[in-house]
Amino acid sequence: MAKKKIKPSNSVGDGRNENGKFTKGNKFARGNPLAQRVQKLRSALLQAVTPADIKAVVKVLLSQAKAGDIVACRELLDRTLGKSIEADLLDKIQEIERCINEFKQ
């Protein structure tokens, strides 16, 4: 049996055509207006920061971490090794495995 093709309703006035696609000039098809602004700011930041700037910032972060700054240590390690797994996550996994094994029995 062939599937029945359902056409979207045009009565809503949502600016779509009979196939459900946005029509030209539709105000709903513009996307997130803040995304364009964020992209411009990100682009300006990337143009302003040089590799030398990044190296200088990392050197300061590294010296702070070596001096015992825990926040600097965490940031440095998170950025270089990736965020660590929460300690209790392993306990939760073991508990779930125990429950699964009990369920199987």
Is the Cβ–Cβ distance between 16 and 24 less than 8 Å? no
**pTM confidence score:** 0.50
Mean pLDDT, to the nearest integer, of 65-78?
93
Contacts of 23 (CB under 8 A, 6+ apart): 15, 16, 17, 29
Is 67 a residue whose pLDDT tops 90? Answer: yes
Does 12 reside within a domain? no
For 15, other C-beta atoms within 10 Å of its C-beta total 15
Number of domains in the chain: 1
pLDDT at 11: 46
Does 15 reside within a domain? no
* Least confident residue range of 6-10, 19-23, 27-31, 46-50: 6-10
Does 45 reside within a domain? no
Contacts of 19 (CB under 8 A, 6+ apart): 7, 8
Q: Could you tell me the residue range of the domain that residue 104 belongs to?
A: 51-105
Band of residue 31 on the pLDDT scale cut at 50, 70, 90: confident
In the chain, the amino acid numbered 91 is D
